[in-house]
């Protein structure tokens, strides 16, 4: 799927569209943070977006993801 997204966004750039990418920090948790950072860097270097927007990740207290964090299954 990752390469499908990269290909589509490169085609959008080639067609002259202005492209803005959003990055969610910590979405992979501690276990996947390094891999996520490397793949994000690689993808952005291929796509060459016009804008990159960085967002911190937040979780609602009643969400299933928050429950996983509280139970130590996901470590931020």
Per-block average pLDDT, block size 10, for the chain (76 residues)? 87 95 83 90 95 90 92 86
Residue 64 domain-assigned (yes or no): yes
pTM of the shown model: 0.75
Residue 12's contacts (CB-CB under 8 Å, 6 or more residues apart) are 19
Contact (Cβ atoms closer than 8 angstroms) between residue 22 and residue 56: no
The answer to whether residue 75 sits within a structural domain is no
On whether residue 76 sits in a domain, the answer given is no
Q: Which domain holds residue 57?
A: 2-70
d(CA 20, CA 34): 23
Rounded distance, CA 15 to CA 11, Å?
A: 6
In a domain, 15, yes or no: yes
| 34 assigned to some structural domain | yes
Q: Which two tokens stand for residue 19?
A: 């492209």
Angle made by CA atoms 65, 5, 47, in degrees to the nearest 5: 115
Does any domain span residue 54?
yes
What was the pLDDT predicted at 1? Answer: 67
Number of structural domains in the chain: 1
């Amino acid at each position: 799927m990752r390469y499908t997204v990269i290909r589509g966004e490169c085609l959008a750039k080639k067609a002259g569209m202005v492209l803005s990418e959003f990055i969610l920090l910590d979405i992979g948790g501690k276990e996947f943070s390094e891999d996520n950072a490397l793949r994000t860097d690689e993808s952005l270097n291929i796509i060459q977006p016009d804008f990159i927007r960085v967002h911190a990740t937040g979780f609602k207290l009643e969400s299933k993801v928050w429950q996983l964090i509280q139970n130590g299954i996901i470590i931020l």
